[in-house]
Structure formats: structure tokens, C-alpha cells
Structure 1
């Protein structure tokens, strides 16, 4: 008799319940173990948090109290108390009584002086061990540092009271025990603080462990203890272990309730699962049996007797079904994957042009076209016609552009060779078309470019050229066939700089771009300068090629060389011109000085009225000649770029008033009215070049006086403040003179230009004054302009930029304040001058002193060494034969004239007036400077000044 199989529900219950019981037991043990571990860990973590909180409390008490004491020590009341000894007793006690720095009930404060004596206190009854008392005094009073101590003697904190960084006293706070400071703070567990000997300084549960006892006497059985060190103290957290067991008991009850509920749920789920599975499989079996018409009486295999009846019946029906379906499903899946993985579009139609099969690429293509799939397919079939392949043009709806698709038609035949339809395969060539078109455009553009272009492959041996355009052929003479496959070394020659070639090789080796110029040779041997720009090209993130742009810059190089030579010639010409002007200045000023000196000597003699008149005419002529020379030199300095604008404070109101006084006399002689109007906005002292400002205004005033016979001259000056805080000075000079014609006004500021020749003949002048004034205005950040009507006068207006300055910065005049002079004393003066006339003039000017002359620096050194008399002052000409004044001065300063002349005052007498002359005098060691021609009074004043200076008061300033 055949054994009846067990039902699925009974089999599931009998098989799963023992396993579930074992699983529940294991899970229960694990849960209890994890719970116990978690509780122990939580207890330990709670104790560590408690110790951390205790440490933070102690830290906070010490640091916060120290900070408060430090703030208090910086209080003016405390600091003044150490200085104001007599009055501190009146206010300090009241101030101390108002202090409350901690929550402790018994706190003692005291203020100590630098010697450690208590000045004032609050509740101070502290009995401190000598070691602790000595420690805080040494740290705070001795080293000016804060001090804190927590020990069995209590808590002591001291901070220095600083005066200029040094401790002049100390504020000390003392609490007799740590217990009173920490008691107000809440605690997570029982907390203890002991010192290094185990003495209890603080206990959060005094009933359990009393403060002042020794912790080693505490019976710790039944307690969990965690400790940590803080400085010289030990912090403890004490918690009874019974607390952990109580928590474990409650956790166990909760876990047992959870396990019981889990068992009930599992049993219910298993029962429901068995019932549902039995019902489902039975129904499935009936459906499969009806479908496959299986034999229901077939016996089960011996190894399946214990299986459920439902599964045994289903197995037979599934065996055949799975076998059949597996083959079909696998074949269809593989075919579908092949279709979808195709990069091309595919559609299969029957003989009635109905779609049998299409892949997703074809479906997406149809979605991107106007019309339906059937209409699109009909269009493709019509266009192909009898041909097997053709490229068709389609319009994309999504991109709005044309798409190029190559369609291929293949007949669909069955196993017997009968034609069942057609297969259409479409390959999208739009991107390839675009790429090919783009490449053609780029290639054409590069080939037609006027700049030589080459491309080299640096990954291949020898880094050969793989492309060269037509411009390269025209530039070098090499054809593409001759250069492609080779490199450009054939274009280098013996004059090509090796250093430039090394730089190119290094740039390629390091894959860096480079731009350089090197000498190359064309195919016919012609040299040319090649401006080469090499740029690396990356492929897939790696530099594989270099593109080179070449340009023939031979003509540019030649032009640059020509310009360089021209620049050097111009600089040499300017240097020669400057040297010539310096020489001419010296040569012209020397005879002018002789004439001026003679006239000054004549002026000091007895003359008739007619002779005095002639003498005044000669002096006026000399002044005019000197003015012309100065104009020419100023213009030359500007033209050579040697004129420098000084930036120094000056009183502009004083300058204007001096000019007004100076020209008032000239106007009075001609019967003209002179009016000055000022609107300086309070800026009397400004920063700028006072000399050049007065030169501009003097030129304009001089012209106004010269060209005005009747009427008035009006000068208006105002200052405005710019947005950038600089100052803008606007000055205008208006006259009622002859005026300037409209057609001459555009050239009036040109060099050597006056209105006409008659003006020059009638009024004189060089025509440089206005040109110099215009250029000076430009150098000072401004401009000058003219408004004039012929016969009705002129108005010249100019602007310059200034800055604000402090009146205290104006330097006092050296002659009045620098030293104390002694008038009337006879001095010994050595005059070193190669010009006989100038020697005579200088001697005559200094007739009240003892003078000796020398014609060169060599004679001067000989005189200084041989003569016993010691000269008080040396007057040194700069330009002399054999040895000039600069060299002679350097030798005197170096001791070649003896130690007595190391600091002798030396005054330069020079006819030079170019840039650098004054600096050369100072650099050579001269003390002062007089430019020829000079007045006799200036000479005597300088000799008197320098001769009267004591040795320890010698000045080196040049005026």
C-alpha cells in the first residue's frame, strides 16, 4: 500500500517549530547579553561624563575666578590704591565689601603690595602654610604671573596688579575648602576629589564619604568606581552596582514580554503561511494538470515520499513545461537582446508591407519624424525602389535639422527559401557627415591660412611632421612631400643659437607651450628670422602632438635693430647736447660773471650822475642777457628731460605777495594799476614747487607789463579741492595791452614764437617764456590757455596740481637760524679760480679779508700743505685745468691737505647750471654752492657764515 504524503501545512509546522524555538532561544540569550553589556557600558559612560563634568566645574571655577580677579586687578581703583597710599583707606574697604566672585559662603579677599604686605582685605582670616604662601608670592609678585592652588588647605588664586608690565601688588582670593565651591553644582553620580595622598577635598555625598577623610578607608565593595587625574588631584565617580542590577531587571521583564509576543506572531505567521501555500499550490496543480493533460496516477519517486502531496503532483507537470519554455524563452531573449544592441535601426515587414518586427532605435527614429511609422516606412521603401542601398535625407523634429540615414534592404526568406518579406537596416550618418564637413572646413582653413602651420607627432621616433600647409611651402621653399615624415632640424644652421634650440627641446620634453624667435634657413639657404609658436595638443587627456605657427619676422627684426640704433644715436645726441649746453653755460656765465663783477666793483666807487646812469644801463643789459641764458637752459633741461619738479611745502600767499611787491614798482614806473585777488580757501601752505610756480607767474606778469602801456593788470588766484583730496590752483593774468591776433594765438606757446617780427624788434625777448611756462604747467599736472582780442588786451590762465601741507613743515632760512655769525672779523680765504678776471673780482669783493689765490686744484693742495697759515674758507671753482674742483675737494676730504683741513668749509663757485651740478658738489664734499654770476653781498654773506661756524656745529646743507 502506497504511503500517503503529509499535507504541506503539517509539514511546515513540524519542520519549522523546532528551528524557531532554537532561534528564539539564541536571540533571547543574545538580547539579554547585549542589554547587560549596554547597561554596564551606559553606567561606565555616565561615570565618565560625571568625571568630565566635575573636571569642567573645577576648571571653570579656577579659570573664571582667575579671569574675574585679573579684570579686577586692571581696575583703576585697585591700581590707584597702590599709588595713592593716603586716600585708599577711605574708598578701598567699601569697594572690597561690594565684591562677590564665587557662590561659596566663606570667601576671603586681600590686596597685597609688591613686598607681600597686606594692604586691605575682606574676611581675611586665612592661615596658609608657608610653602603655599611663598609659592604664590614668588609666582605673582616675583614673576608677574597668575597662581592657583587646589589642595587640602583650600583654594588659593592670586593675580598680579601690573604697572607698566611689572607687578606692583597682588589680589589674592582664598576659600578654605573645595567642598564649599563645588557644593552648589548638580551631579550625575556621587563625585569625589582627592589630593595625591588620598585626602578627600570634595564629596558630593558627605554622608557616604565625608570631606577630610582618607579615600583608602572607604569600603568600595558593591560600588562601581571610575577615576581620572586633573593636575595634582584625582577625580572619582562612585555608583552602587545595585543600580545597574535594577535597570537589568526592568530590561529583562521588557525583553521577556517582547519574546513572548514574537513567538506568538511567528507561530501565527507559520500557520497562515502553510494554509495559504497549500491552497495556492493545489490550485496551481489543477491548472497545470488541465493544461498539460498529465497522468495523475503516476507514482512518486522514493526519495520524494516525504514531500507534500501538492508539490509532488506539481513537479511532474513542471518538468515538461519548464523544459519547453526554457528553450523558447532563451531563444527569444537572445534574439531580442541582439536586436536592441544593434547600433543601427532595424525593421522587418511582410509581403503586405505590414511591420513584423522593429527595434527600439527604429521606433525612436519614427517618433522623431513627422507622420506615423507606416507612412515613414512607405517613404523609405519608395525611395529605395529596386536598389539595395541608398542614403536618404530626413528631418528631425526635436533638433530642427536634417538627418542623413543610409538604408539597406535585404529579403526575408524562410527555411525553404520562400520570400516572406523584407528587412530594412538604417545607419545614421549625420554625425559622420557633420564631422567630415567640419574636418574639410578646418583642413581648408589651415591650408589657406597666410601663417605657416605644421603639426608634429611627438609620440613617434624623431617627432616627425605629419602636416604642413601651403604657407609653410611659401615660407621655407620646402614642399609638403619633402618635409612630412621629417622634422625641422634641416631648417637650422650654424648661426642658429643653440640656447634657443635647447629651450624648444626642453618645452617639448616637459609638454609646455613655447613662443620664441630663432634664425632659420630656407631651402635655398636664405636666412630668415622665424617667430615660432608651439602649442601642445591633447588626445584623450594625453599630449600627443604639437602644432606650430611660423612667421617671417626678418623685416621686423631689422626694423627693431634700426630703431635700437636710432635710439642709441638719439641718446648719444642728447648726451652730447646736454654736455654742449653745460659747456656753453659755463663759457657764457664766466664772462658774464666777469662783467657783472666789474660793474659791481664800479658801483662801489665814486661816480658822476652820468656814469651811474650808464652803469645802471649796463647792469640792466647784464640782467637781460642772464635772463635769456636762463631761458635757453630751462628749455634745454625740459627738452632733455632733466628738469625736475620739486615737492616741498611753501607759503603760497607769501609768494604771491612778494611777486605783487616786485611788479608793483615796474607797474608804477609805467603808470599801470596792479591788482591781486586771492581766494585760497584757507590753503596758505601747500605742497609743490614754489620756484617753478613763481617762474610761470613771473613770465606772465613780465609779458603783461612789457606789452601794456596804459590801463591795468589784474591777477586772480583761487584754489579748489579735487575729489581725490588734491588741490587745483587756477591763476589768471589779465591785462589791457596790445592783445594777440586770433590767427597767431594757436602758435603763441611754440618755441621761439612771438606774434610778429615787429614785436621782437620793439619789445625784445627770446620767445621761450610762454613755451617754458606751458611745459612747466604740464610737468606740474596742469595746463595754460589764452583768451585775447587784438588791441583789447589778453588773459592768460594756467592751472597746476598741489597738495595740502602743514605749516610746521616749512623749513626756516638757514642763514638766520642755522648758526651764529660774527660780523666784521677778518677771515683767511683761499680762492681757487683759473680765470684771472674772476680772481680779481673775488679778491675785490673780499677786500676786507685776507685772500690767497690758486689757479688749479694742484696749486690749491700745494698751498694748503706748504703754508703755515690756516684758511677759514676755501672758494673752489669746479671747472679748472690739471685738476678740477671736484677732485681737489675729494682729496682735501681724504686728508691729502692735512688733518686741519678735513672739515674746512668749501664753497663751490661754478658757472654750471645743469641738472646734477649741485648734487656733484655735495657728493664731492663741498659745503655750499654759488652759481655765477653772483652778487658781492651773496659771496660775503656765505664766507662770513661758514667761517664763523664752530667745528662742532659744521653744517653740510647746500643752499
Structure 2
């Protein structure tokens, strides 16, 4: 039903018409009263305004006269001067701030005069409020300045009086005009009442015409609803069906005659959802609000007359009709749409599975190839140490070169597989950039010398000393690029230029350029040289071997560091490979020598060590006893709890990974013991010093941690913190140790142990390493499982660090992390690299060894 103005509906009711007629005499009386007030208003004047304006001028003249009378400093009456000034100042303040003069201040000349007077008075305040002598001397000057302002004061009076006179005339005219209009309106109302009465009759005719138009519109709308493919159901506020279209009949299997008056929940809502449906309708009736009306489309389950369930998209709206409010539901069967989406997801999952299978295939196949290849290289090494004739020596050398070249290709494929699996991460470390680059040059100078090529590096402009970045990845990138430069440069020159970028290229602040005078790269090849399995033209492939993976790996590594890589080259003249990388400039780290100056504790401590690895426990005992402490060793968590509940120690060093009860469980048991045993400081004694792990240690009741391998300065600091009752004991092995087969930790072990003890423990470590490599060589995922692999790697890892086998310890840490994360692919990749690291470690620790076990 159309909505018409309320006035029409009001006038249609004859009951209210006499009331309107009775109001007319009141309107006449009101008009008389207003007219009488207007006559009084016309005679009003603006005496108060005129008086104020005149007073400003009078007070000004009074102040001027006072200044003249007191111009003689010897006879000046300063109190009168100050009083007249204050009066004038207050009078001018009325003009400046009074609401009565707001309209006058809109006149520019009036406002300018007020501002000039106000400025003069503000400047004079300093003399008025100042010392008497200053005021006496200033009176002549003030008199002269005051006299010059007389035209401005006169202008204020004239302009203000004229403006208020004009405003008063306009106001009286406006009120008189309003009264006249009121009389006209009153007369108009009388005429309008008659007109509206006639118009109400016409409005009835219009309502009937619009009703017929609405009927036609409803017919058109019904036609549209009957032909649409979307089901439309109309229900009242109680949830009973009022109407539905043809599509709804087809979708749900009910005719309009069958459904009308039935509960929509009983018809199309599944049985288990009907209770929630009824509660929703009851809440809507009670509160007038619904969670679904006007909120867009939602996905629900529905059922048809046969009881078949299917998914639908539902949108709901409310509307008003002559019979009350209704709710309109628009439903669409989306079964086919969901089936299509499921097929698309399945196709996507299959594609992703294919990519993962490809990466797994590369990793597993490369891993499987390394097993016989390592055996082949190992046996070639053994053969080369036997008596061979000249031809056999040549053949053996050729086979070894080919084998190591094949191993290099397999390693490249392993790196690609690791990148594709997303398991390569950045590890920041602090290092000296200049020394690092010199080590790169030194390591490649021999290779370059074979090609009669010189190699060097230099800074362009200002240099950086100590920086923080991923040294291992940077080293691999530079070795790759420098190796390529050497490969394609004969009797030439290779240089590395380093320059700080100003301004920065985003986060990149350093550019490294590897410049060679080799054969160069064509422009067409430059566009694809960083793709996988891409080499240049046949000239390259005849002069050198390669898979085309090196630059692809370099590109991935540079992107992982947040940098950029590119090439510029001219065939026959050489190439320039450039890297732009982010480096954080840092201060020089504290030297190891400085750390060794940490003094031992002032008093002897009673220390309990829970450590299941004999070598670690022995070294810890020697370190602590050398500083005068008393040490008790236990080999598992249960023994640690038993001793800690019987004897009051000063501190407990608790290993984390132990058989039976681990260190965290033992700590919780000790914390549950009676006082004072439960208050003993407990330090985690572990190689797991990542922030999230150490936070977990503290949450389990530990007071801090000491990292493995033990370092004397860190151990002493921790014990001093115990004496000071500090609850923030943090110690860890040196951050990101440099990648060397054996480091200075071995010196500490030799210093603590006599030669026989050192040889015994070293032999035991080498035997444990051989046993681990042998186990990892025989299908480790099937024979051991990831959990056992992680446990075995962790067990030997700290011992490896103790003997200075940093590279081996780092590799074991990578395998342990991947195994704990149940990442079989990365575990196999890291295991495949372990044998080379172990071989280098064994060669350094025991040069007399002829071979080492080979891991897959």
C-alpha cells in the first residue's frame, strides 16, 4: 500500500475538522498580541549603546586631559593617570568583547580603530604597571601618542552609532514585516482548510488509481519470480510459508497449496537443525532482530520433500505488507558449484603433490646416488695409496676427478631440492667482511693459478669492518660466482669490488661485483643464465662442464638474503656479476682472550652435575675442580632427583636429554620437594640454546642455562650469578661458530686432559662417530626412524663440539632439527652431506686414519 502524507490522512477524518475550526479564534488573538508588542518595539531606542560609545570617547578625553595635567614629572599625580587609564581600558574592552557590539566589529574600519586603540593600551600597560619613575618619564610620549588617536576614537562613536541605528531600523522593519506575514498566513490557513478538504476527496481517487497500478506491478513481479531460477520463499514472522515461486516448488518438491501455512522449518530445514531454526525465529519475534536478515548470503544445508539433503546459498530480507511484516528468503542449490570447487581443489592438490613429489624425488635420488658414489670415491682414495704403475695412476686420477665432479652435481641437486622444499633458512652471524673476502681470494688463488689468472679484491670508497649477515650462504654465493669466473677466464684477471651504496637500494646497502676478463656472455644468454639447468652456447660446454644449476642456486640464495643479483657482459671482453645485499654494520665483538679473564668464584661451591655422556661429565668435573669446587656426577634424571632430595647443593647443572627421566622432568620433581631442597638453583646444561627452547627451560622451573660445549668464562659467569642469587643466568656457546673442521675447543680439551686421557676419549668419540655414520648408511628412515636419528645425533653433538669438530656438530644439529620436525626430505639431504664433513673431521683429528664410514 503506498504511503501518502499524514496531512491527507488526517484531513480525511471529519472528526478532527471541528477541532481545527476552534483553533482559528486563538490564532486571531495571537496575532493581536504580536501586533501590540510590535508597536512597543518600534518605539524602543538604543540609549545603552549610544551611552557606551559616548563613554569611550569621554574616557579617552578624560585620559588625554589627565596626561596633559601631569606632563610635568615633578608634579605628576600618577594615581590619577593609572585610574583614568584603567577606566579607558575597561571601556574599550566592552567594544572589543561585548556581545552587543559583535555586529559592529564586522565593519573593517571600526575593527581597525578598536585594534589600534587596543594595541596602544596594551603597549602602555608596561608603563602603567611599571615603576613610578618610568611612568613619569613616559607621560610626554604617551600624551603625544594618545593625541594622535583622537580621530580613531571619534570614528568609533560615529561608526558604531550609525551601525546600531541602521540595525535597529532593520529589526523593527523585520518584526513589522513578520507580523504582516502572520496575518497573511492566518488568512491563508482559512482558505487552505477549505482547499485541503477538497483535496482529500481527490486523494482518495488517486489512492484507488495507485492501487490498480500496484496490482499490475504485483502481477509483473509474480511473473519475474515465477521464471527466475532462484527459489524464493515468503514467510511471516512466525516462520509459516506465505508464498513461494515456481523455482522453489521445483527445488524443494512442494506446491504452493501444500506449503502455504506450513512451518518453513518443518518443510526444508534438516531435522538436527530445526531446534536452532525455531529458536532463531523466536528470538527475532522477541527482539525484532535476526542474524541472517540483510547480512548477505550464507551457506546452509536444506532438504526437499523426499528428505534429500543438499547445500544452498541463502539470503534473507524483510518487508512490510498490508497483512504485516514478512520475511523473504532467496535460496540457490549450489551442489554443482561445490562439486566443481572440489574438483578444482583436487586438481590444485594434485599439482602441489606433483611438485612435492618432484622435490622428494630429486632429494631421494640424489641421496641414493651419493651412497655408491661415496663408496666409489673412498675406494679410489684407498687404491691411490697402493703401488700403481703410471697408467693405473692416470686412470685412478681421472676416475676420481670424474667422481668428484659428479658429486658436485649431486650436491647442487640437493641444494635445489632443499630450496624447493622451503627448508633453507638464514642464520645471522658477526664476521669481519674484509678478512672474509681475503679468505675467499686465498682459497681460490690456487684454482685461478692453474688458468694463469690473477685474482684480488678491493673496497671502492668507504669500507665496513664488522658486519652481521649469513656468512655461510654468502660464502657459497661468492665461491659459486668466483668459481664460474675462474672457469671461463684464462690468462686474465679477476677482481672483487665492494662498495657501499648511497642511497641504499631498498634495504641493500652494499654491492659486490665479481669482474672477470673472460669470454663474456651474449645478451640473449644473459636473460636466462640464472635459470635452472641453463648453460650458455656450445663454446661454454666444450670448454667446461656443468649442470647449469650454480647460478640458479646463487639466485635463490641472494633472494633468501633479501638481495638482488644481476650480470653485465660483453662477449670477448668479460663479465661483471653484481650482488646488492643488506649488511648490518656492528661493533667488533669481544675477543676470546678477554673472556678468559673472568675470575673464578670467590668461594667453593657444591655442584651436582646430571650428565649421561661420560666425556662431557669428565670435562665438566675437571673444569669445576680446577676452580676449587666440589662436584658430584649422576648419569640420569632419577639419580639427580634422589641426590637433590638428600643433599643440599649450591647449584645443579642439569642436562636436558637423558635416558629414563629427562632434565625437565627431573627439575619439576625437585621443585616439588620440600624446602630448602626445592629452592636449589638449577641450570640447563644443553646445546639447545635457541630462544624458544631456553624460554621453555625457564617455564619448567630452571633458573638459566649453560650451553655446550662448556666454555670456562661462561661457566664462571654462571656460578658468579648463582652466588649473587641472580635469576637471569644466560650463557651459550659462541654465536655462529666459523665453519672449520676443527676449532680451538680442542685446545681446551687437551689442556684439561693428559695425553692418555685425551687419546682415550678421542678414540671413543671417533668410534661413536664411525658407528653413527655406519647406522645412517643403511636406510636410516626405515631402520632407525626420525626420533632415533634425532636422539643419536644429539648424543654425539656436544662431544663433537668438545673436541672442536664444529662443522660436524653443526651438521648433526641440522639433522637433529629436521628429524624433530619430522621432515624426512631435509633429514636425508643433511645426512647425505654428513660423510664429507666426518671425513674432513677425522682427517684433522687423526691423520693416521685411512678411511671413514660412508653415510647415504
Q: How would you bin the TM-score normalised by the shorter chain?
A: 0.3 to 0.5
Q: Which has the higher strand share?
A: 1
Task: State the TM-score, normalized to the length of structure 2.
Answer: 0.47
TM-score by length of 1: 0.42
Q: Which has the higher contact order (CA 8 A, sep 6+)?
A: 2
Q: Which one has the largest radius of gyration?
A: 1
Higher helix share: 2
